[in-house]
Amino acid sequence: MNSYIKRKKTRKVQVGNISIGGDSPIVVQSMTNIPIEDVNRNIAQIENLKKNGAEIVRLAIRNEKGIEPLSKIIKASPIPLVADIHFDYKLAIAAIDAGISKIRINPGNIGDEYKVKEVVKAASVNNIPIRIGVNGGSINRKKYSHVTPESLVDSAMENIKILEDNNFNNIVVSIKCSDIFDTVEANRMMSEMRDYPIHIGLTEAGYGLSCIVQSSIVIGHMLMSGIGDTIRVSMTGDPVNEAVTGTKILESLNLKFSPVRIISCPTCGRTADDIDLLSIAQETERELTQNFGEILILRNEKLTVAVMGCEVNGPGEAAEADFGLAGGQNGRILLFAKGERIKTVAVKDAVKELIAAVREKLISPSTPGGGKE
Ligand code: SF4
Average pLDDT, rounded, for the chain: 94
Per-residue confidence band for 102, with pLDDT thresholds at 50, 70 and 90: very high
Regarding whether 231 and 318 lie in a shared domain, the answer is no
Predicted confidence (pLDDT) at residue 217 exceeds the cutoff of 80? yes
**CATH number for the domain harbouring residue 267:** 3.30.413.10
Claim to verify: residue 19 and residue 130 sit in the same structural domain: yes
How many structural domains compose the chain?
2
Considering the domain architecture, whether residues 140 and 220 belong to the same structural domain is answered as yes
Q: What is the domain extent for residue 279?
A: 260-370
pLDDT of residue 365: 54
Whether ligand 1 lies within 6 angstroms of the CB of 68 is answered as no
pTM of the model: 0.90
What average pLDDT does the segment 265-288 reach?
Answer: 96
Residue with CA at minimum distance from ligand 1 atom 5: 314
How remote is the CA of residue 68 from the centroid of ligand 1, in Å? Answer: 58
| Residues 122 and 158 reside in one and the same domain | yes
184 and 312 co-located in one domain: no
Q: Are residues 31 and 122 in the same domain?
A: yes
Q: What is the structure's pLDDT at 188?
A: 97
Query: Taking the CA of residue 142 as centre, how many other CA atoms within 13 Å lie in the half-sphere pointing to its CB?
Result: 3
pLDDT at res. 1:
58
Q: What digits encode the pLDDT tens for the residues 2-48?
A: 779 999 999 999 999 999 999 999 999 999 999 999 999 999 999 99
- pLDDT of 313 reads 83
Q: In the structure, what pLDDT confidence band is assigned to residue 213 with cuts at 50, 70 and 90?
A: very high
pLDDT at 53: 95
Residue 7 lies in a domain: no
For 119, residues 6+ apart whose C-beta sits below 8 A from its C-beta are: 89, 92, 93, 103, 105, 107, 110, 130
From 170, 177, 123, select the one nearest 155 (Cα to Cα).
Answer: 177
Ligand 1 contacts CB of residue 309 (under 6 A): yes
Among 193, 222, 252, the domain-final residue is 252
Please say which residue of 252, 272, 287 terminates a domain. Answer: 252
Residues 6+ apart with CB under 8 A from 351: 280, 283, 284, 287, 325
Residue 373: per-residue pLDDT: 41
Please report the pLDDT score of residue 157 as a whole number: 96
Q: Are residues 111 and 230 both part of a single domain?
A: yes
Could you write out the three-class secondary structure of 52-118?
Answer: CCCCEEEEECCCHHHHHHHHHHHHHCCCCEEEECCCCHHHHHHHHHCCCCEEECCHHHCCCHHHHHH
Report pLDDT digits (tens) over 67-91.
999 999 999 999 999 999 999 999 9
268 ligand 1 Cβ < 6 A: yes
Q: Whose CA is nearest to atom 3 of ligand 1?
A: 313
Domain C-terminal end among 199, 232, 252: 252
Q: What pLDDT digit, counting tens, does each position of 237-261 carry? A: 999 999 999 999 999 999 999 999 9
Q: Residue 41 has what pLDDT?
A: 98
Task: Tell the residue nearest (CA) to atom 8 of ligand 1.
Answer: 313
